[in-house]
Amino acid sequence: MNLLKKFLFELQEITNLIIAAFFGLFRSPRYFSETIRQMDLIGVGSLPIVLLTGFFTGGVLILQTYPTLEYYSLQDQAGKSVATSIIRELGPVLSALMVSGRIGSAISAELGSMVVSQQIDAMRALGTDPNRKLVAPRIIALMFMLPLLTVAADIFGIVGGGIVASGVFSLDYNSYITSVRFGITTQDLIGGIIKPLFFGLIIGSVSCHKGLSTTGGTVGVGRSTTNSVVLSSIVVIIFDFFLSRAINSIFDIKTI
């Protein structure tokens, strides 16, 4: 019962944080420069690890699925299987998990350090709203950049799968590309963009909440950082199930 009450309390606090940050966008001052800075840190800073993750995910998918497809004489559908898996599911989720580990922890640690050093209290004393200056730019940056990172991961995943299929299994690359092109639907692409939007909101709000609720000095900063990454990752995975179900129902997407 205490665990349920704690969960509901956390959910309420995170919801209030999102609402406060959202309504703060309609009042001045607006911190555009901070939002751009966060976009650079999140997007450009996370690009190498996301591309690396996507590339080798596509390669592993081909290594694991191609022998089975070849057994049923469906090797010409290898590109479709990789592209569909990455665009629908693996690209958004793995990108979100990578960003959660890299950016979510950084946000929580940064805000937590500001709390224990009383910088947040100083901002409030000077009349600056931390939700508008610190929380809103980070959430907006995550919601804007994570879909772009996911698209990049999808592309590199498909390319990685094609390189492995051609180099290891001697599959004709043109056949692979044709399978990818005719296997991807508009619904798949839309669903693959919608998911990162919500994942960015989850990562940003959870990380900011954990950072701003830090207690216990420098030890508490480490605890908040760990809790932020763990909770963000768990919520992303759980929410992915319900979001996938909703997207499949709305767009009438058939499973493979």
Q: Give yes or no for residue 251 having a pLDDT over 80.
A: no
Question: Distance between terminal CA atoms of the chain?
Answer: 40
Which pLDDT score is estimated for 256?
46
138-179 pLDDT tens trace: 999 999 999 999 999 999 999 999 999 998 888 888 889 999
Which pLDDT score is estimated for 253?
59
Q: Structure tokens of 204?
A: 């940003």
Closest listed residue to residue 134, CA positions, set 207, 58, 228, 239: 207
Q: Structure tokens of 217?
A: 């000095």
